[in-house]
Amino acid sequence: MKFQSLLFYVLLLVFATGQSQNSISGKILDENKEPLPYANVLLYTEETKESPQGVISNDEGTYLFEDIQKGNYIIEVISLGYKNEKVEFALEANKELTIQLKVEAESLDAVVVKSKRPVIKQTAEKLVVDLEKSEMINTSLQDVMRKVPGVLVTNNGISIAGNRGVRILINGKTTEYMDIQTLLRDFPADNIAKIEVVEQPGAEYEASGSGAIINILLKKNVKLGTHGSANVWVGEDEGFEYGTGFSIASYKNKLNWQAGVNHSQPTWREDLFLVRTVGDETYDQVTREPYDPVNYSIRGNVDYYINDKHSIGIGSRFSSRDSKRIVSSTTIISDENSSNTLFSENDYNRQRTNFNINPYYEFKTETDKLILDFNYVDFVNDNVNSLRDIAGSTVPFTDRRYIQDGAYTIKTYRLDYTKNFTDNLKLSVGSRYADVDTDNDLQSLIENNGGFDSVEEESSRFLINETIFAAYSKVNANFGKWSLSAGLRYEDSNTDGTSIFMENGNLVTQIQERPIKKLFPSASISRKINDVLGASLSYSYRIQRPSYNSLNSFATFLDPFSAGEGNPNLTPAYTNNYQFNLTYEGQPFFTIGYSKTEDVIFQLIRQNNETAQIRQQEVNVENNANWNFRLFAPLSFVDGLEGYTGVIVTNTDFQSSTYNLDLNKWNLYWFVQASYELPWGIDFELSGNYGTGALEGQIDVDWLAELDFSFGKKFMDEKLRVNLGFNKMLNRGFVGNIDYGNGIADVESNGSRQNVQLRLTYSFGSKFGKKKSSRNSNNAEEDRIRDTN
């Protein structure tokens, strides 16, 4: 930790050596010489008029600009309901100016011009979707994600350029220890300011992960006063489903707070059809798995602005998910002379809760920003599943039961410092330390005379202690038409895995250590070709660490003939990512991406022809390469139509002599994301995609397609939003085959169809907030905890 301490003191030294300059302060008053809070105060020269500095007057009407050089300046004060006021002056030393505003002779409502489509901008480092400048009728994060060009939101999750290894962050904090489907469905769109799609993460991001990062930035201090929303939705999928949520926020000058609560009980179904040959026999299996989990979540955060430079805050979230379901399987085993059937059920009872708390401190000026951050996560995942045969079976089977209890504790400390030397040069440095402890206890039991006996040889306890220390530096620079970003991240991690199990009647403890010390470079360069065209080239080096659960070696059965098995010998995978972008008026237009991964973590499926068992296990495959080509086009050339369409062509290749793998496939996706205003102010939105096929790990998938659309309208002075959604209207899932190496199986993995949801959202509170007199004033450790149930 000496290096961390040294880095901290170096940052403080840099911060403390800033050049001392002059200040401009004063007070904003109304016609009665009363303090006028929340007025916009702009400071600029004739040369900097297009990019002024700005502050907002506080409750006492005071304002302050610091570190201002000598020269001639203009202060302009803007406040709703008052005439703008300008003051020109020369600054030779610290200056104090009191400015009095006059009421407008004719008070008009504020007019804000907004588009129904979000503002989208592609840079070399990321795609930014600005929702604050749009006026959409979206009600959930899932609706918003469907408007991001190239992001496909399907029943199987989120994918970008054919890659499903997408990580979702909220304000830079990972969410993948949460249930992503619930997050997409229940997270209110009203809280979202921007979405950043980062395909080439820079040095400031964790090096973990093989896919893109989606960072959701929440609104902060955008509406003064107290306001909020309440929503309720009902629907029909595999039965009646419903959900409700409530959020409230209060934004004052110094103290801001937000709180929210959600409850939902969605329904859906996943089906598996598998036909395979074992010797002279054919195994024809049908499995139907219904879902109706009960989800709760509560969240809150408080921010306190000590002064214009210093702020502190704390955020917290608690969520729970209870999932009880019975999975039914029918397996017909036949040859030329006979046929037998095994009817079985797997009774799941899964309970998971997670709690996190995140205090922070922030120092911010026009040129400097320092953040100290601590994040604590406590995650509990307890599972019981009982596998049994049912009446009518002609194949003998002994009932099994598995009890799996998992506990995860993650503590992360972070320091980030940014220095803007000029408008064209920025330096960022930072450090991060994570401490992870996991405890997974698996008990295997077998039926005996109506009860269950422990099977010690199949039971185990698996502990992980992991520490990761990281330090990074990054520079951003602009030179005329050129922009450059370059960063370097160093990570020093130590992962100790302890397996405790019985072997030949003896208790065995095995410890496997995985120390990793490595540098992760990243860089991007872009150039503005002309007034409308731009080009960029970017590179990043990444690591994908095994999930915590996948390192536990013991197996658990999914049905009588298939089981999942861990692999304690898994090692991290390393990926080199390259990407070239062409933009048109700042919008995404054409992209070429290539990635090369060594020791990629691959879900291997193998069949034992002697036992007829199928085993799924994550292994390291030597080589993996991916190409993707993307062409996007806005739909605004059609009058009244907004959105994007495009094609994505990908090639996926897996090569392994160890596991005799030689998989290569090209595929093409066409997608459309469109909105159109129908008569009577009804908004129609549609998203759909078609794929010619793909490699989903070892499964060679035939064509896929999905179609969703919705109708929305606002009522009650736009306070009430009503949305009627029709999802999965065309939902063709995975239909293809699996090559086991010693046989090929036909497989179909599909979900429920034709989901209909009606959602109502009511917004309340003042638009501009606080009144005074008769006026308004305006102005990537957690992601390795995997459980999809």
Render pLDDT for 316-342 as a digit per residue (tens, 0 to 9): 999 999 999 999 999 999 998 999 999
**Which backbone phi and psi does 682 adopt, to 5 degrees?**
-90, 125
* 697 to 553, 618, 619: CA distances (angstroms): 21, 11, 12
Q: How far apart are CA 74 and CA 47, in angstroms?
A: 11
Q: What is the pLDDT of residues 678-701, one digit of tens each?
A: 999 898 988 888 989 888 888 898
* Percent of the chain whose pLDDT exceeds 70: 86
Quote the pLDDT of residue 19.
Answer: 43
Quote the pLDDT of residue 504.
Answer: 85
Indicate the residue type of 663: L
Residue in this structure with the two tokens 């709180």, named with its chain if needed? 259
Please tell me the CATH superfamily of domain 119-784, with its number: TonB-dependent receptor, beta-barrel domain (2.40.170.20)
Fold of 18-100: Immunoglobulin-like (2.60.40)
Output 465 or 734, whichever has higher pLDDT. Answer: 465
Question: How is the chain split into domains, by residue range?
Answer: 18-100, 119-784
DSSP code of 456? G
Q: How far apart are CA 592 and CA 584, in angstroms?
A: 15
Q: Are 453 and 445 in contact (CB under 8 A)?
A: yes
Q: What is the pLDDT of residues 143-160, one digit of tens each?
A: 777 777 777 776 556 777
Return the CA Rg of the chain: 29
Quote the pLDDT of residue 4.
Answer: 47
Q: How far apart are CA 473 and CA 484, in angstroms?
A: 14
Residues 433-443 have a mean pLDDT of 93
Output 767 or 585, whichever has higher pLDDT. Answer: 585
Max distance between CA atoms of the chain, in angstroms, equals 103
Would you place residue 110 in the very low, low, confident or very high pLDDT band (cuts 50, 70, 90)?
Answer: very low
Q: What is the pLDDT of residues 388-437, one digit of tens each?
A: 988 889 988 899 999 999 999 999 999 999 999 988 899 999 999 999 99
Residues 46-57 have a mean pLDDT of 78
Q: How far apart are CA 760 and CA 119, in angstroms?
A: 25
Indicate the residue type of 456: E
Output 196 or 386, whichever has higher pLDDT. Answer: 386
Quote the pLDDT of residue 255.
Answer: 84
Would you place residue 383 in the very low, low, confident or very high pLDDT band (cuts 50, 70, 90)?
Answer: very high
Confidence check: pLDDT of 572 > 70: yes
Q: Are 84 and 77 in contact (CB under 8 A)?
A: yes
* 519 to 107, 119, 489, 543, 786: CA distances (angstroms): 60, 35, 6, 10, 26
Confidence check: pLDDT of 10 > 60: no
pTM listed for this prediction = 0.78
Q: Are 217 and 193 in contact (CB under 8 A)?
A: yes
Q: What is the pLDDT of residues 770-786, one digit of tens each?
A: 333 332 333 356 566 65
**Which backbone phi and psi does 14 adopt, to 5 degrees?**
-60, -45
Q: What is the pLDDT of residues 623-673, one digit of tens each?
A: 999 999 999 888 877 778 888 899 999 999 999 999 989 999 999 989 898
Burial annotation 277-291 (CB, 10 A radius, 16+ → b, else e): ebeebebbbebebbb
